[in-house]
Structure 1
Amino acid sequence: MKEKKCMKTVKLSLLAVVVATAVSPSAFAGDTVEAATTELTVIQPGMSQSEIDQKIGRFLERTGNSVAAQNYLIAHDYQTTTPQENTAASPVQPTNTLNPITNQAQTDRDNGQDTAIQDAQHAITVAQTDIDANTAAITDTRNDVSAVQSDVTNIKGDVAHAQSTADHANANANTALING
């Protein structure tokens, strides 16, 4: 009998935990920051600030407005014009506006990207010029090697002819000595 009463108590305790979890809005609170970023990926240039604020608000709602979510927004330059709940709880305060597509930030980013692209294109042009010069030098060297090989072949022919002439002269000299 005592065992049944103990089991009932355990079952009731488990039921209380399940009910409390289901009722509590903070239970299993929110998505991970990574999962909630889908709210931010739909922000496009040309969206109104209120639409952007709504997307950021939804992101914060899905993440339970966690410190990690706020840090993510700050790290990715998202800015909103409307204050979000619970931001005072975070040790890292977001900037006044959380929007990655502010005109100034986008312009700065574009200028930086343009500069990087121009620098890369210049480096490519310089590298291509070096490649072209090296290719021409290799071609010249190959031509020089071919000319030297041709000269060596001609010299070998001259040496063979001289050897043949020397052999012939030696044979004539030996014949003259024998006939003497």
Structure 2
Amino acid sequence: MHATTIIAVLHNGQVAIGGDGQATMGNTIAKSNVKKIRRLQDGKILAGFAGSTADAFTLIERFEEKLSAFGGNMKRAAIELAKDWRTDRFLRRLEAMLITASKDEILILSGTGDVLEPDNQVAAIGSGSMYAQSAALALRKHAPHLSAEEIVRESLNIAADICIYTNHNLVIEKL
């Protein structure tokens, strides 16, 4: 998926997730202040998306339904959503990815049925994801005094300096 950067970091007992605000149509910037981060379950879970906006909203709605059905258990809700996403004819066509985060864990969800828990407590999706992830991993290792929010902010700024599909209009949420 391209046209955005979303990153989540779990660090020193804090979790933060952030994204840039750029939406593109082809090779043109359509909007520069899109909010791609959402608070779910009365603020206990954060979600960010990359890909088609309408598809991502559909997935977030379905994820919220699964959270409600499974008592707020994020991992179980993610697995059930991934099952539906992979097998349902309608959902299978959705082109988006999600990162979800609670105070204890981060998950990446994809339409291929993947529910991944990152090894290094850093997850990123979108066109600038590898730039942001590399920056976050370096900051966690060499600047451990930074907060999760500070790591997310600096990582997104680094990605925005490199990736043409990522801008500096950041939205960051933390738990």
TM-score (structure 1 length as normaliser): 0.22
Which structure has the greater CA radius of gyration?
A: 1
Q: Looking at both structures, which has the greater relative contact order when contacts are Cα pairs under 8 Å and sequence separation is at least 6?
A: 2
Structure number with the higher helix fraction is 1
Structure number with the higher strand fraction is 2
TM-score (structure 2 length as normaliser): 0.22
